[in-house]
Structure 1
């Protein structure tokens, strides 16, 4: 079975969750190559069509698997090779052109995957689909004590550290609310999750006292699964599928968009000063890549058997 992954190539690296999913599929004897799209916007993507046809001719894939709606649009222009599209939220959940194009792609794709069920609120057509979350590589997350992680990252053991879920300058992540909440407490450092390598993120999750999510819109987010794997307490608004992941986890809190309540929960985390049992959640809900890869391969097989 040969699968061509179609995704954006505008960043310096391919999104880690795509790479990890691909690596898990390769372990199931799926032969995979990438087609990386260069350019932005509809026209930028469409300009890659000739190059895509050349890649199809040389690789001869059985399936094309596109990640995000715009990548799916490019993939479905050719009608010879069946197309699977994974929607990650920032495509179909956006209003206007992004939503229209993503729904068009959803309608024409041979199979569609959504990373959480809330995304279905933005779907126009009633059509068969699958909910498959992005997974975690269990082997990558080995236990590190908070003390060791802080030494490695050169943090003081006396610092009170709250990790914000993304970069401060992304409007949808709602940094202003996080900042207001933290400012209501004394001697707390709010860290920006930006510019770290994967292994450094894992160290960071073990080093901080909690993860704070105040986003207006999310799909997963993946950072929640990473925090769970590292035993990092999570304080989050009800966004994406966070609630379904953490509501039963002691030491984690779902909060409203209210800086006072968020500040109360941050203070409570510091009082408790405990790590959480998050790895069990990932295993129980089968949110690790080896299982997810099997589900995706099953979709490929079903399409090819039609």
Structure 2
């Protein structure tokens, strides 16, 4: 019997520091011991904050960096062809509209099965809407489609993906890594933060759909009511300048802090008295899982997969999307009630540990990968080198 290891290639387009999917992809190889895994990242050529190669090196992950000059760069296609011929993957797994299209075309050319993950549906018109329309045409043509939340599962079904080629696989985290080691007061002291203030925090890309403008308004209401609160937001993005202008207009701008990108988010989460997420569009945000695992009580808007994760009043509080008053009410409840904060924090941790563990998630993905390859005699382990690999070898010779 051949001992040839199966090979999985993830493809992703990203700008800046990326988001939740980057954390998931970086943790993937250690949880797929039967596969050789390579990440291929397409990104703008002149991106000053892009740091995926460095993060991959720190974690011992194979990553190929593909810079491109424009939204459609023929050099990108040539580079992907080179990577496929070099790595000879058994499965291609793209994660966004651009890599979905490219993977389907290259998968057909090289006769490689293609699967994809639907991480979210955040398009809201404009130029990108054409790309998302093309993306929606890709889903029914995939060998298998993973979705990270129940609403995205229904969305994929509505696009014509048959249920036997569709799996609900929630986002998940390493619950051993994300666990509290000290109290918020102790961590505030370590980080040099004011210990007397009630810290409302968030970690996310500063993008339009995250609606940090609403969070700022809600916190401003609490301050006006006499609450001793401060807002700390870790992350960067295109909305930063607009949010800075909004903060300068507040009566107490010194209570609002945009921290930029931070690598110490585990420490920051432990310093928070409450974690807030006020998006009007989401998938199933990894950072919400992380906050709950760290026993931080959460307030989140009822969008996409969040209501399935956060049961209102049991393991967190949920607010109506777009409602500053509702968000402020939830934050105020937690500000005045320490017993409720403790109850939600403990229940949140328990939910993540029992239902959103990363190792369990990866077992589900591997079962699908194995099923796809085992169903094709060309990829059975007892058949040795596949015709594709032999063809790759000949082309490379």
1:153 pairs with 191, 215, 218, which one? 191
3-state secondary structure, aligned to 2:196: coil
1:176 equivalent in structure 2:
213
| Alpha-carbon shift at residue 283 of structure 1 (Å) | 2.2
- Structure 1 spans left out of the alignment, 5+ residues: none
Which 4+ runs in 1 deviate beyond 6 A? none
Query: Which residue number corresponds to residue 7 of structure 1?
Result: 12
Aligned counterpart in structure 2 of residue 134 of structure 1, from 151, 158, 171: 171
Q: Does 1:43 align with 2:72?
A: yes
Q: 1:258 aligns with which of 323, 326, 351?
A: 323
> Gaps (5+ residues) in structure 2?
1-5, 43-66, 236-259, 376-397
- Indicate the larger mover: 78-87 or 32-41: 32-41
CA contact (8 A) 1:69 1:85 kept: no
Asked whether the 8 Å contact 2:29–2:36 carries over to 1, the reply is: no
CA distance in 2, matches of 1:40, 1:294: 37
Cα deviations by residue, 1:159-207 (Å, 9 ceiling, x for unpaired) = 111113425x421111221111111112321111213444x21111111
Alignment of 1:181-192 (within 5 A): 181-186=218-223, 187-192=228-233
Aligned counterpart, 2:364 = 295
The Cα offsets for residues 109-141 of structure 1, whole Å up to 9 and x where unpaired, read as 111111112123364224231111222012212
- 1:1-306 to 2 correspondence within 5 Å? 1-8=6-13, 10-11=15-16, 15-25=22-32, 28-37=33-42, 38-39=67-68, 43-44=72-73, 47-78=75-106, 79=108, 80-90=111-121, 95=125, 96-119=129-152, 120-121=154-155, 123-127=158-162, 128-144=165-181, 145-167=183-205, 169-186=206-223, 187-194=228-235, 195-198=260-263, 200-247=264-311, 250=314, 252-256=316-320, 257-273=322-338, 274-275=341-342, 276-277=345-346, 278-285=348-355, 287-306=356-375
Give the SS at the match of 1:235.
Answer: strand
TM-score by length of 2: 0.70
CA contact (8 A) 1:165 1:223 kept: yes
Provide the rounded CA distance (Å) in 1 between the counterparts of 2:216 and 2:14: 33
Deviation at 1:29, TM superposition (A): 2.2
Q: Which SS does the other structure have where 1:179 is aligned?
A: helix
The number of residues matched between the two structures is 299
The structural deviation recorded for 1:225 is 0.1
* Distance verdict in 2 for CA 1:165–1:9, change over 3 Å: closer
How much is the aligned-residue C-alpha RMSD, in angstroms?
A: 2.2
Distance in 1 separating the partners of 2:300 and 2:332? 14
